Structure 1
Amino acid sequence: MDVNALIEQYGPQALDIGIQLGGALAIVLIGYWVAKIISGLLEKTMTKRGVDPSLSGFITKLVFFTIMALVIIPALAHIGIQTTSVLAALGAAGLAVGLALQGSLANFAAGVLLIAFRPCRVGDWVEAGGCAGSVQSISLFSTILLTGDNKKVIIPNSKVMSDAITNYSAQPNRRVDLVVGISYDADLKKAKQILLELVAADERILKDPAPVVQVAELADSSVNLICRPWAATSNYWPVRWDLVENIKLRFDAEGIGIPYPQMDVHFHKEA
């Protein structure tokens, strides 16, 4: 069979196929161009608004590949491929992958929420997932805490989000809550005055809100006073430790006893 006969026989079909392939390629190229523009604009917007780089990078890639998936489907349909079966296969594959990775997906979803809503930031001291420590990093799958004794604790994000998060660094000021017990025969007014003097003498303690020194409870073996001054969050522990030590030293010097739990046992001699 000569060349002219082949061209006459298969030429129209080849031309149609070429036109279809060219149209599909044009759809993919235009879709790729649109996806790059949209994802680029989205990334710039999130960067200007201070969105976490890991979250912005993930969202940018997600938008890009979603647009490309939406583009490839009509491109396949343009060259005559039945997209219904392709979509069904992709749906089944996605379901299987989702079931296999449901734990990881839960951690991922929790990581997105942590990064988006910011209940804690790197450097904050928190209680989360049953642990307490300084936040070292927050990724899409786990949160790393550094404990006070320098242990690294890696917590899955799903566990962090499923429980309460206590952030001790979120506010600029914290209240120091102390309960000081004195004996029943001690001078109550003098004890309160000493606590007020100790609080006023510490320059790290804030004047506003004003410290509170009051009688809280008449307990079994002591009269319990509450001492509640406010301090900057960064000074919380130094103020607490110094105040406890100074209270003990000053009470000893002034003769105000701090009782300890005790029990009096009486024996009755039977006749």
Structure 2
Amino acid sequence: MEQYIEKTKELLMDYAPKVVTALAILLVGLFLIKIVVKGVKKVMQKQNVDITLQKFLGDLLGWALKALLFVTVISKLGVATTSFAAIIGAAGLAIGLALQGSLSNFAGGTLIMIFKPFKTGDLIEAQGVTGVVKEIQIFTTHVNTPDNKLAIIPNGALSNGNIINYTKEGKLRIDLTFGVSYDADIKQTKEILMEVLTSNDKVLSDPAPTVNVSELADSSVNFAVRPWVDVAHYWDVYFETTENVKIALDKAGIEIPYPHAVEIQKKE
């Protein structure tokens, strides 16, 4: 019993300083990591770095520093870091093989953060989804569709596919086509269509809207109507122009052809 007590005292004398030192390093390290991460985030805020990128890089830096601190604390307790590193490497390989898809999404998220093909608030079209980017996370990107559905797109597929960013250039062109009767006067029709565009305050004057004859179809003369708008006004101008063109053409007595044969069959 006396021998066990002596050995316990020896162990305490040997390891107590190591444990105290390790705890001190752990507490001071966590405190310093918190300060460093907060400082880096403040620097990124001053540099007007995207909010999503700030959070992503801040979290990544925090976890990396904590992993380094953990290894340091373990080494102070007398654990061999070489064997510990080998265990971590083997575990990392196993986890990597099991989470190939997640790692691909992580890499895709990193590429999106670095190259910034879009940012939060942009209107994009990708992976068969069109909508406004709500949030860019490490593994997925959240997009709100026009009918207010939330689409969650994996970053791996998103970064490797085609992305159309409607917001990037700041302006969009609306492509509309209206057909009128062959009896209609082309010059008068163009003036009416242009008046509809220029009377709408949401239609931009630079670039200027255009109205041109695009096709001589079987039963109509088709006009390509091309107004330019801010991204936020796209659908407003689209629907307003369609409605106002119909009203203006009716008022001028210009016919919009429709399939009469179908109407006759319905009556019969």
Q: TM-score, normalised by structure 2?
A: 0.74
> How many residues are aligned here?
257
CA contact (8 A) 1:120 1:167 kept: no
Distance of 1:152 and 1:46 partners within structure 2 = 29
1:171 deviation in Å? 4.2
The structure whose Rg is larger is 1
The correspondence for 2:243, drawn from 237, 245, 265, is 245
Encode CA deviations 1:5-43: one digit per residue, 9 max, x unaligned: x79xx98x9987777777777776776666455434323
Match among 81, 87, 93 for residue 83 of structure 1: 81
* SS of alignment partner, residue 242 of structure 1: helix
Instruction: Find the counterpart in structure 2 of residue 44 from structure 1.
Output: 42
Contact 1:125/1:169 (8 A) holds in 2 = yes
Query: Unmatched 5+ residue regions in structure 1?
Result: 264-271
Residues 19, 254 of structure 1: alpha-carbon distance in 2 compared, 3 angstrom cutoff: closer
Instruction: Single out whichever of 191-200 and 167-176 deviates more from structure 2.
Output: 167-176
Q: How does 1:1-271 map to 2 (within 5 A)?
A: 35-52=33-50, 55-70=53-68, 73=71, 81-116=79-114, 117=116, 119-122=118-121, 124-260=122-258
- Alpha-carbon spacing, 1:61–1:202, altered in 2? closer, same or farther (3 Å): closer
Q: Which amino acid in 1 is paired with 2:216?
A: L
Structure 2 contact 173–229 (Cα < 8 Å) conserved: yes
**How far apart are 1:92 and its partner, in Å?**
0.7
| Gap regions ≥5 residues in structure 2 | 262-268
Distance, in Å, in 2 between the alignment partners of 1:150 and 1:20 is 58
Q: Residues 84 and 193 of structure 1: is their aligned pair in 2 closer, same or farther, counting only changes over 3 Å?
A: same
- Does the CA contact (< 8 Å) of 1:54 and 1:140 recur in 2? no
- Cα offset for 1:57? 4.1
| Pair 1:80–1:174, CA change in 2 (3 A) | closer
Q: State the distance in 2 between where 1:46 and 1:19 align.
A: 40
Amino acid at match of 2:229: A
Which letter does structure 2 place at the counterpart of 1:216? S
1:119 shift after superposition: 0.2
SS of the residue corresponding to residue 120 of structure 1 reads: coil
The letter for the 1-side match of 2:58 is T
1:145-169 alpha-carbon deviations (Å, 9 max, x no partner): 3333333333223333232233334
Partner Cα distance (1:233, 1:77) in 2: 57
* Structure 1 residues 49 and 118: alpha-carbon distance in aligned structure 2, compared to 1, 3 A threshold: farther
Structure 2 residue matching 1:149: 3-state secondary structure? coil
Q: 1:246 to 1:99 in 2, by over 3 A?
A: same
Q: 1:57 to 1:145 in 2, by over 3 A?
A: closer
Shift of 1:93: 0.2
- Identity between Structure 1 and Structure 2 (%): 42
**2:234, 2:77 → 1: CA distance?**
70
Conserved 8 A contact 1:120-1:170:
no
Letter in 1 for 2:166: Y
Tell me: CA distance 1:151–1:33, structure 2 relative to 1, closer, same or farther (3 Å): closer
Rounded to whole Å, the distance in 1 between the matches of 2:195 and 2:56 is: 56
Q: Is the 8 A contact 1:55 1:112 kept in 2?
A: no
TM-score by length of 1: 0.73
Distance 1:152 1:219 in 2: 41
